[in-house]
């Protein structure tokens, strides 16, 4: 054990300087735990030669999936446009049928659904948006996804015979559950972090930066038990500057000061807060050394928050070989989806920003020749109530549950809906509120149209993690409740 | 303690009496401060070794004939350890103590402390009963394969570490350097106790604690604050601060009129100024962004007298979050901030009402749009979850109450939120008939008013708890009446005391307070001693004077907090006497550009959950560290670059948005650097100003060569190098 730990430390820190080693050693427990895990495995998980990256694009605030994808067809055997309009038109929240961008859905007999018009070409846009990638089979949708402890029917929801996710409809808790994948109890770590805990060492043994990068600050998704993410600014800052301490030069005094600063992080580590602060700074200083040169991307990206974040991610992917990374997890975020009011304009703006940026990112991956190796997917806090909040110009919607997610990339089985069937025999929920609505949580007067998810966040994310290379026998340790659901592969990744 | 010579004593008493008399004339009574330092606990060991003095706690296990014969214990055993040199307050017991194990792999475990009783073996020795089982759940249970090191902490102080056999004795663990046996036979010699109080008036002489107190109660220590506390002590300083006018007379709240919602409006917006002109830009900046409030805030932090109220208001504003992200005008936010500061030393119940009816809050969390036909549950949910009771039932010490299956008990469910939502329907802006009502503007200054026609008058069922106040609200009431009933239903919930107390402790003192500390403060929240619940003045005093907060130095490895960006920046600026860029006047306060890149854009919290969540757990640890929620690789480098900006450069003035600029004044520190070519005096001064005398010898030895690498003929550059290194060190980044 002792022997192998030393060996492991040597391996895992070969990219790190001695200063980083000291705080790493302070976190020795975590290192040893991993070393032990490695010892126990006869065959460590192998990533192979190829590169793969997954990009979580988080829509913060609760994206109104009910207005992102809408039935266009008039087939009355499943919820059609009229069913949608029946709830949303009067108060002014309905998107006109003619303006929807048609998508064909083989899973539902080839019926036509429609994407929000902001997901196609838009005024002032720099590309055609993501809509046309549906027909090219690069874009798929996983429908009625949400936080779940176990599969749940409306009756079970109402008679409490199946445990519910804690604090449904609360932002912070539902964000946490989406990002940890755990809805039964509060979790310390995110599922991205847990993937990195298990996959970084076997796949990126000589990686010069952490496996996970967030362009949107520290997030629960990125927190591992043992791994920390790299968090950097968006593309407004060049990679060479994102982590560069200013004010140093090559004079002897400056070099002495820099050495002292590095040395200070290796002492007085008895206080755990102090050690944690030093450890984060170490990571930053090491990554900085690796980021001093980079090449700009080819495709134009929109100059929006999400555009700049995805552009920064594209720069890092372009530099993957230099950074010695074979597997990467990225986190980016677009906020403002908590549209309790003024939804129509705001949601249009947000969706077009998302679509323009995601399309630019996909096109850049094609240019880089890695579009089959990089998958972008969305998550959000929750869907919004089918029943609008308010009416007229300021109409909005409230917090709900089961929602629709996009998956985008060359390895996506695009052009279709995925996920478990709802009570209507399709993966798309019945858009009926209250007692007559089989997918609504509530009956009677309190009903607002909150769909009970039929596909759990864990099933959705496990499908992506499996494609990414998480070994089958590790699925249960990253997604602890996955065994309670009938499928752990929804089939949308090729 | 020696008795002071009588002659000196009397003259000092006279001086004290004069000072007390002066203070009494402004309604402040001078109060004597006791020694703030708690004794350092000592865990007892066996004779001749550092192995813990330990035995099975359960009856029937172990040999009564030869106590302490066992040297190894299995997991899940109840074990008694022995500690001495502690002095307990009334009611202080097991939950004031934490016991940590560390194994050979340096993993840290915390084990439950079940009981604390005076030992029958010897007076002054206490028996601590622990359960040998990790309670943090970060690691799996420790392996029962040899010795671990055991540490006990109390009031932020760590004991010595002793060995305990887990499963068996032996293994690779090493004693701490220099550790010695601490046997029962010598227990009496370990009891140092605290100094008895004296009647001698010598001011507040605990210099380390003075600086620590100022870090907790102000926006940073400087010499004049330190001098003041040295003269009058903590209690009198607190009494002064409670009475001090706010804001400072020289820095009144910006007087910004309400404007039209449309900033381009030609009469009530900024449309009367030609597009592209400075007037138009300035009009927009001052009315439609939080710029004037931010600058006011920082000036008050840097120069204001009423530091404590400013600090508590800042903490309360990180609980009752309203963000400039959704709050268009500075005038709206100023009205909100006035409520924070007005009630910072008032009653929490009043804060609850005034915040609920504040229009900026009403807009931010949508209550102003909530009607019986279109209810909005945003504010009702957040007032419960974030501002008052939280998600789970709490014991008075802030720990989770558990049900029979060891599961936490939800405080409320969705139907409770629905019912509060109904209570809070029908409120709107007072656009007619209130002091600030005016045509064509929305009144974001006066409290919202009720439109009873939009109020849901059905019966409601609110929070359930033992002896619940107003749990059931009958149908047909007026919305004003209902709001008061409902707020009382929340306010009297037993969670509010521990919930609010813990948050305020985290913002001011330490990220992971002991349950005992939370419990002591919550008791004051529940009753200030005069039967009043929710007295924030009493709560703040209890937080700052608690023995867990006080003392010259804290050695518990889990004590302290990462300085949030605002504190980091203002602490450094105050320590080096920040002025305008040319050092001729005060800074203009335009320094939000320093905290924003570190994750704190003042008055622009990204969400209602504040810049960082109170329960944030640091990755790779089981340690609660809220401020680490915004400590990333990116902001870690940002902290270094902040120091570079202010130590080696300045914020230049003379521009439209930065009239005077900001600079440290290094005159004094440069003189100290010049006076001592060895650099030691310089480090002594920084040790005092920034580290409250806790700089370790290794830290000094690490910094000195970088100071002396600069030519002694350039004392300014020497001072800069030293300040940069201390200010960027984790030793300073963490407030302890």
Model pLDDT, residue B32:
84
Instruction: Tell me the C-alpha distance between B371 and B357, whole Å.
Output: 15
Model pLDDT, residue B194:
65
Average pLDDT for residues B583-590, to the nearest whole number? 98
Instruction: Tell me the C-alpha distance between B13 and B198, whole Å.
Output: 12
Pairing of strands B108-111, A52-59: unpaired
Quote the number of domains for chain A.
Answer: 1
Model pLDDT, residue B608:
86
Q: Do B709 and A279 touch (CB under 8 A)?
A: no
Q: Residue B40 corresponds to which tokens in the numbers above?
A: 């350092």
Model pLDDT, residue A21:
43
Instruction: Tell me the C-alpha distance between B450 and B455, whole Å.
Output: 8
Least confident of A215-219, B272-276, B580-584: A215-219
Q: What is the average pLDDT score of chain B?
A: 93
Partnered with residue B157 across adjacent β-strands are B154
In a domain, A11, yes or no: no
Instruction: Tell me the C-alpha distance between A2 and A493, whole Å.
Output: 41
Closest to A451 in 3D by CA, of A475, A468, A433: A433
Model pLDDT, residue B25:
44
Query: Domains of chain B (ranges plus CATH)?
Result: 42-190 (2.60.40.10), 244-342 (no CATH), 346-536 (no CATH), 561-735 (no CATH)
Closest to B106 in 3D by CA, of A5, A10, A274: A5
In a domain, A259, yes or no: no
Q: How far apart are the two ends of chain A, measured CA to CA in Å?
A: 40
Q: Pick from A33, A231, A276: which is nearest to B632 by CB?
A: A231
Pairing of strands A327-334, A52-59: parallel
* Domain region containing A195: 52-243+291-484
> In this structure, is the dihedral angle defined by the CA atoms of residues B222, B225, B231 and B233, taken in order, positive or negative?
negative
Q: Burial, A89: exposed, middle or buried (Cβ in 10 Å; 0-12, 13-18, 19+)?
A: middle
A207 touches chain B (CB under 8 A): no
Rounded to the nearest angstrom, the minimum Cα separation between A27 and chain B is 7
Q: Residues of A numbered 270-329 whose beta carbons fall under 8 angstroms of chain B's beta carbons: which are they? A: 270-281, 283-285, 287-288
HSE value, Cβ hemisphere, 13 Å, CA-based, for B18: 6
Chain A residues with CB under 8 Å of B618 CB are 273, 276
Give residue for tokens 């520190």.
B669
In a domain, A19, yes or no: no
> In this structure, is the dihedral angle defined by the CA atoms of residues B263, B268, B270 and B273, taken in order, positive or negative?
positive
Model pLDDT, residue B1:
35
Instruction: Tell me the C-alpha distance between B663 and B584, whole Å.
Output: 10
Q: Best of B425, B426, B634, B733 to disrupt the A interface by mutation (most A CBs within 10 Å)? A: B634
* Cα B543-B546-B549 angle, rounded to 5 deg: 85
In a domain, A43, yes or no: no
B487 upstream amide cis, omega within 30 of 0: no
Q: Best of A40, A272, A336 to disrupt the B interface by mutation (most B CBs within 10 Å)? A: A272
In a domain, A197, yes or no: yes
Closest to A188 in 3D by CA, of B702, B476, B624: B624
Q: Residue B514 corresponds to which tokens in the numbers above?
A: 């002991």
Q: Burial, A380: exposed, middle or buried (Cβ in 10 Å; 0-12, 13-18, 19+)?
A: buried
| pLDDT tens-place string over residues A196-227 | 999 999 999 999 999 999 999 878 899 887 78
Closest to A410 in 3D by CA, of A379, A469, A370: A370
Least confident of B83-87, B260-264, B441-445, B641-645: B260-264
Is the separation of the CB atoms in B506 and B626 below 8 Å?
A: yes
Instruction: Tell me the C-alpha distance between B683 and B707, whole Å.
Output: 9
Checking if the pLDDT of B13 tops 50, the result is no
> In this structure, is the dihedral angle defined by the CA atoms of residues A420, A424, A425 and A428, taken in order, positive or negative?
negative
Average pLDDT for residues B326-342, to the nearest whole number? 96
Each residue's pLDDT, cut to its tens digit, for chain A (494 residues) gives 232 322 332 333 333 344 444 444 444 333 333 333 333 333 334 444 589 999 999 999 999 999 999 999 999 999 999 999 999 999 999 999 999 999 999 999 999 999 999 999 999 999 999 999 999 999 999 999 999 999 999 999 999 899 999 778 877 779 989 999 999 877 778 999 999 999 999 999 999 999 999 999 878 899 887 788 899 999 999 999 999 999 999 999 999 999 999 999 999 999 999 999 999 999 999 999 999 998 999 999 999 999 999 999 999 999 999 999 999 999 999 999 999 888 999 999 999 999 999 999 999 999 999 999 999 999 999 999 999 988 888 899 999 999 999 999 999 999 999 999 999 999 999 999 999 999 999 998 779 999 999 999 999 999 999 999 999 999 999 999 999 999 999 999 99
Q: Do B377 and A398 touch (CB under 8 A)?
A: yes
CA distances from B496 to B296, B385, B421, B500, B512 (A): 31, 11, 20, 6, 18
Give phi and psi for B427, each to the nearest 5: -90, 145
Q: Do B619 and A267 touch (CB under 8 A)?
A: no
Q: Pick from B599, B644, B699: which is nearest to A267 by CB?
A: B699
Closest to B533 in 3D by CA, of B523, B543, B542: B523
Is the separation of the CB atoms in B132 and B76 below 8 Å?
A: yes
The DSSP secondary structure of A89-153, one letter per residue, reads TTTT-PPPGGGSEEEEEGGGTTEEEEE-GGGS--TT-SS--STHHHHTT-EEEEEEEE--SS---
Q: Which pLDDT band holds residue B199 (cuts at 50, 70, 90)?
A: low
A7 touches chain B (CB under 8 A): no
Model pLDDT, residue A41:
37
Q: Which pLDDT band holds residue B197 (cuts at 50, 70, 90)?
A: low
Give residue for tokens 């120069």.
B303
Report which secondary-structure segment, H or E, holds B573: helix B565-575
Checking if the pLDDT of B136 tops 70, the result is yes
Q: Best of B564, B606, B632, B731 to disrupt the A interface by mutation (most A CBs within 10 Å)? A: B632
Checking if the pLDDT of B196 tops 80, the result is no
| pLDDT tens-place string over residues B539-579 | 999 999 999 999 999 999 999 999 999 999 999 999 999 99
Model pLDDT, residue B711:
97
CATH number of the structural domain spanning residue A226: 3.40.720
In a domain, A386, yes or no: yes
Model pLDDT, residue B61:
60
Is the separation of the CB atoms in B215 and B571 below 8 Å?
A: yes
Report which secondary-structure segment, H or E, holds A397: strand A396-399
Q: Give A186-191's long-range contacts (Cβ < 8 A, gap of 24+).
A: A188/A223, A188/A225, A188/B138, A188/B617, A188/B622, A189/A220, A189/A223, A189/A224, A189/A225, A189/B619, A190/A219, A190/A220, A190/A221, A190/A222, A190/A223, A190/A224, A191/A221, A191/A461, A191/A465, A191/A478, A191/A479
Contacts of B509 (CB under 8 A, 6+ apart): B216, B543, B544, B546, B548, B549, B561
HSE value, Cβ hemisphere, 13 Å, CA-based, for B668: 12
A394 touches chain B (CB under 8 A): yes
Instruction: Tell me the C-alpha distance between A102 and B57, whole Å.
Output: 72
> In this structure, is the dihedral angle defined by the CA atoms of residues B243, B247, B251 and B252, taken in order, positive or negative?
negative
Q: Do A335 and B705 touch (CB under 8 A)?
A: no
Rounded to the nearest angstrom, the minimum Cα separation between A274 and chain B is 5
Rounded to the nearest angstrom, the minimum Cα separation between B571 and chain A is 18
Give residue for tokens 């066996």.
B46
In a domain, A137, yes or no: yes
Give phi and psi for B617, each to the nearest 5: -105, 130
Checking if the pLDDT of B457 tops 50, the result is yes
Contacts of B720 (CB under 8 A, 6+ apart): B647, B648, B666
> DSSP letter at B644?
I
Average pLDDT for residues B227-238, to the nearest whole number? 95
Chain A residues with CB under 8 Å of B369 CB are 340-341, 389-390, 394
Give phi and psi for B112, each to the nearest 5: -65, 140
The ipTM value here is 0.93
In a domain, A323, yes or no: yes
Pairing of strands A139-146, A403-408: antiparallel
CA distances from A49 to A313, A325, A327 (A): 21, 10, 10
| Helices B479-491 & B414-423 angle (0-180, nearest 10) | 140
Closest to A143 in 3D by CA, of A408, A347, A377, A421: A421
Chain B residues with CB under 8 Å of A166 CB are 391, 410
Rounded to the nearest angstrom, the minimum Cα separation between A408 and chain B is 28
Pairing of strands A212-214, A230-231: parallel
Contacts of B708 (CB under 8 A, 6+ apart): B678, B679, B718
Q: How far apart are the two ends of chain B, measured CA to CA in Å?
A: 28
């Amino acid at each position: 054990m002792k022997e192998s730990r030393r060996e492991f430390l040597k391996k895992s820190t070969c990219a790190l300087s001695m200063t980083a080693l000291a705080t790493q050693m302070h976190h020795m427990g975590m290192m040893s735990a991993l070393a032990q895990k490695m010892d126990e495995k006869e065959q460590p998980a192998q990533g192979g030669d190829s590169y793969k990256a997954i990009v979580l694009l988080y829509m913060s605030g609760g994206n109104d999936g009910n207005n992102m994808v809408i039935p266009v067809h008039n087939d009355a055997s499943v919820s059609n446009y009229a069913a949608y309009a029946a709830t949303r038109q009067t108060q002014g929240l309905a998107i006109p049928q003619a303006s929807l961008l048609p998508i064909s859905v083989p899973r539902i007999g080839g019926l036509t659904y429609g994407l929000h018009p902001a997901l196609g070409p838009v005024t002032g846009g720099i590309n055609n948006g993501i809509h046309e990638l549906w027909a090219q089979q690069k874009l798929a949708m996983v429908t009625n996804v949400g936080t779940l402890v176990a599969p749940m029917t409306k009756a079970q929801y109402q008679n409490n015979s199946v445990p519910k996710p804690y604090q449904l409809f609360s932002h912070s808790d539902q964000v946490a559950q989406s990002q940890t994948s755990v809805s039964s109890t509060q979790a310390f770590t995110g599922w991205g972090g847990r993937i990195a805990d298990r996959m970084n060492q076997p796949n990126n043994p000589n990686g010069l930066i952490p496996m996970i990068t967030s362009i949107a600050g520290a997030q629960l998704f990125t927190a591992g038990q043992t791994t920390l993410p790299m968090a950097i600014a968006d593309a407004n800052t060049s990679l060479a500057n994102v982590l560069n301490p200013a004010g140093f030069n090559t004079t002897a005094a400056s070099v002495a000061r820099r050495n002292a600063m590095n040395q200070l992080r290796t002492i007085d580590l008895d206080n755990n807060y102090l050690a944690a602060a030093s450890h984060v700074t170490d990571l930053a200083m090491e990554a900085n050394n690796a980021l001093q040169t980079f090449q700009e991307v080819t495709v134009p990206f929109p100059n929006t928050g999400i555009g700049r974040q995805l552009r920064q991610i594209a720069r890092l992917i372009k530099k993957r070989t230099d950074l010695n990374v074979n597997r990467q997890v990225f986190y980016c975020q677009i906020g403002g989806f908590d549209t309790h009011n003024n939804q129509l304009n705001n949601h249009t703006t947000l969706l077009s920003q998302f679509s323009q940026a995601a399309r630019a990112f996909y096109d850049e991956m094609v240019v880089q020749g890695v579009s089959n190796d990089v998958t972008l997917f969305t998550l959000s806090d929750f869907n919004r109530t089918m029943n609008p909040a308010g009416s007229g110009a300021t109409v909005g919607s409230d917090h709900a549950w089961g929602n629709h997610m996009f998956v985008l990339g060359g390895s996506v089985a695009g052009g279709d809906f995925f996920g478990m069937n709802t009570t209507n025999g399709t993966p798309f929920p019945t858009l009926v509120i209250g007692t007559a609505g089989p997918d609504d949580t509530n009956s009677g007067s309190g009903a607002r149209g909150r769909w009970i998810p039929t596909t759990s966040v864990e099933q959705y994310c496990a499908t992506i993690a499996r494609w990414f290379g998480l070994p089958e026998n590790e699925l249960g340790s990253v997604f602890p409740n996955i065994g309670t659901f009938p499928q752990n592969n929804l089939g949308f990744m090729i | 303690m020696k008795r002071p010579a009588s002659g000196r004593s009397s003259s000092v008493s006279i001086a004290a009496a004069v000072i007390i008399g002066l203070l009494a004339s402004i309604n402040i009574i001078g109060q004597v401060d006791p020694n703030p330092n708690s004794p350092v606990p000592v865990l007892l060991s066996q004779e001749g070794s550092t192995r813990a003095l330990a035995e099975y706690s359960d009856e029937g296990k172990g040999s009564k004939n030869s106590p302490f014969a066992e040297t190894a214990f299995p997991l899940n055993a109840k074990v008694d350890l022995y500690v001495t040199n502690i002095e307990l307050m009334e009611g202080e017991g097991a939950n004031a103590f934490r016991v940590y194990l560390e194994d050979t792999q340096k993993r840290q475990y915390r084990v439950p402390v079940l009981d604390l009783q005076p030992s029958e073996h010897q007076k002054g020795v206490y028996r601590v009963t622990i359960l040998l089982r990790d309670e943090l759940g970060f690691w799996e249970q420790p392996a029962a394969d040899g010795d671990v090191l055991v540490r006990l902490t109390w009031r932020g102080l760590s004991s010595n570490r002793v060995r305990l056999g887990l499963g068996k004795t032996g293994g690779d663990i090493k004693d701490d350097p220099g550790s010695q046996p601490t046997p029962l036979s010598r227990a009496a010699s370990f009891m140092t106790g605290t100094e008895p109080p004296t009647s001698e008036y010598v001011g507040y002489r605990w210099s380390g604690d003075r600086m620590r107190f100022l870090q907790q109660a102000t926006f940073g220590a400087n010499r004049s604050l330190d001098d003041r506390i040295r003269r009058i002590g903590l209690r009198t300083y607190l009494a002064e601060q409670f009475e001090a006018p706010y804001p400072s007379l020289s820095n009144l709240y910006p007087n910004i009129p309400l404007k039209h919602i449309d900033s381009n409006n030609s009469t009530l917006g900024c449309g009367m100024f030609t597009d592209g002109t400075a007037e138009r830009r300035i009009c927009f900046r001052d009315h439609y962004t939080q710029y004037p409030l931010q600058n006011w805030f920082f000036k008050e932090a840097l120069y204001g007298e009423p530091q404590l109220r400013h600090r508590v208001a800042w903490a309360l504003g990180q609980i009752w979050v309203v963000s400039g992200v959704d709050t268009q005008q500075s005038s709206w936010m100023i009205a909100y901030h006035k409520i924070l500061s007005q009630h910072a030393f008032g009653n929490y119940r009043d804060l609850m009402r005034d915040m609920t009816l504040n229009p900026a809050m009403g807009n931010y969390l949508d209550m102003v749009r909530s009607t019986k036909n279109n209810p909005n549950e945003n504010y009702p949910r957040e007032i419960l979850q974030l501002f008052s009771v939280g998600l789970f039932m709490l014991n008075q010490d802030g720990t989770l109450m558990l049900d029979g299956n060891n599961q936490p008990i939800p405080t409320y469910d969705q139907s409770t939120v629905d019912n509060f939502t109904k209570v809070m329907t029908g409120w709107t802006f007072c656009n007619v008939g209130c002091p600030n009502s005016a045509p064509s503007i929305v009144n974001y200054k006066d409290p919202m008013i009720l439109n009873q026609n939009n109020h849901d008058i059905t019966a409601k069922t609110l929070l359930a708890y033992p002896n619940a106040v107003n749990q059931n609200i009958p149908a047909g009431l007026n919305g004003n009446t209902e709001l008061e009933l409902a707020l009382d239903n929340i306010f009297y919930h037993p969670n509010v005391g521990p919930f609010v107390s813990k948050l305020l402790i985290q913002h001011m003192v330490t990220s992971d307070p002991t349950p005992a500390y939370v419990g002591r403060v919550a008791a004051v929240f529940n009753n200030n001693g005069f039967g009043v619940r929710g007295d924030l003045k009493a709560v703040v005093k209890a937080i700052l004077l608690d023995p867990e907060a006080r003392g010259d130095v804290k050695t518990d490895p889990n004590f302290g907090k990462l300085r949030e960006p605002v504190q980091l920046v203002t602490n450094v600026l105050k320590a080096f006497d920040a002025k305008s860029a040319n050092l001729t006047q005060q800074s203009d306060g335009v320094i939000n550009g320093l905290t924003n890149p570190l994750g704190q854009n003042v008055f622009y919290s990204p969400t209602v959950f504040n810049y960082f969540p109170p329960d944030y757990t640091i990755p790779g640890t089981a340690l609660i560290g809220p401020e680490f929620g915004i400590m990333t690789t990116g902001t870690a480098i940002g902290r270094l670059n902040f120091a570079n900006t202010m130590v080696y450069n300045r914020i230049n003035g003379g521009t439209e948005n930065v009239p005077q600029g900001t600079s440290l004044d290094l005159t004094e520190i440069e003189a100290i650097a010049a006076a001592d070519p060895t650099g030691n005096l310089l480090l002594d001064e920084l040790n005092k100003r920034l580290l409250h005398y806790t700089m370790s010898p290794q830290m000094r030895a690490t910094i000195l060569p970088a100071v002396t690498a600069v030519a002694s003929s350039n004392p300014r550059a020497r001072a800069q190098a030293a300040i940069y290194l201390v200010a960027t060190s984790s030793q300073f980044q963490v407030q302890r």
